[in-house]
Amino acid sequence: MTTSKRNGPEHLRADAEGRLRSGTAPATAGWALEAETLSLLYRLASNPESSADALKLLHELQTHQVELDLQHAQLAENEHELALQLAHFQVLFDHAPAGYLVLGRDSRILRANRAASKVFGLEVGQLKDHMLTSLLSPESRCAALAALENAETGDETKVVQVEALDSRRLGLSTGMAPGEDAILALVFPEAPTQPG
């Protein structure tokens, strides 16, 4: 997540100082001044020549404390939002109407959704670590490997026809996962051709 101007250092400092003035600073997230720091502040505050500096230093420490607490709260909120988004996209992946596979470059299945498990007649957990080609008829393996190679080289994604081990015709489309060392595959039953 990027820090916007509204949440930038200047705004954070102004927010912290405002909260200190109004008495609405958040509870500390476990940070505390060490005894040596408190002792030094007490000695400085006790001396009339340095008491003003001690008060400035104390104010600065309190402001930084509140800034840290506000940052901590924002990080916790961001983490919660990311967890919700991740859960949302995991549900979308798992319940998509088409078969999705995440493959390693060696065609090993790293992740599969429910629709893919139905296409191959295996449980989702059983698909993991299978080679995609081992789920296809021997005649289809070259076409599947060519589709995976095209994905790795960034060539245009085309749907290729392959056959499952039980001779059902399937469509297979592949592409590289953005920013990952993985291949995405879409697999679906081919509609039977209508006599014409």
Q: Is 119 a residue whose pLDDT tops 50? A: yes
The pLDDT value recorded for residue 2 is: 45
What helix, strand, coil percent values describe the chain, rounded to 5?
Answer: 55, 15, 30
Query: In this structure, what are the phi and psi dihedrals at residue 101, rounded to the nearest 5 degrees?
Result: -130, 145
Domain positions in the chain are 5-92, 96-189
Q: Give the pLDDT band (50/70/90) at residue 104.
A: very high
Residue 4: its pLDDT value, please? 45
Spatial neighbors of 119 by CB under 8 A, at least 6 apart, are 99, 164, 170, 187, 188, 189
pLDDT digits (tens, 9 = 90+) for 148-177: 999 988 877 789 999 999 999 999 999 998
For residue 1, what pLDDT band results from cuts at 50, 70 and 90?
very low
Q: How large is the angle between the packed helices 51-95 and 35-46, nearest 10 degrees?
A: 150
pLDDT of residue 114: 96
Answer yes or no: is pLDDT of 7 > 70.
no
Instruction: Check pLDDT > 90 for residue 26.
Output: no
CATH number 3.40.50.2300 given to 96-189: no
Q: What is the pLDDT of residue 180?
A: 74
| 144 and 107 Cβ atoms separated by less than 8 Å | yes
Per-residue pLDDT tens digits for 37-89: 667 767 777 778 877 877 787 778 878 888 888 888 899 999 999 999 999 99
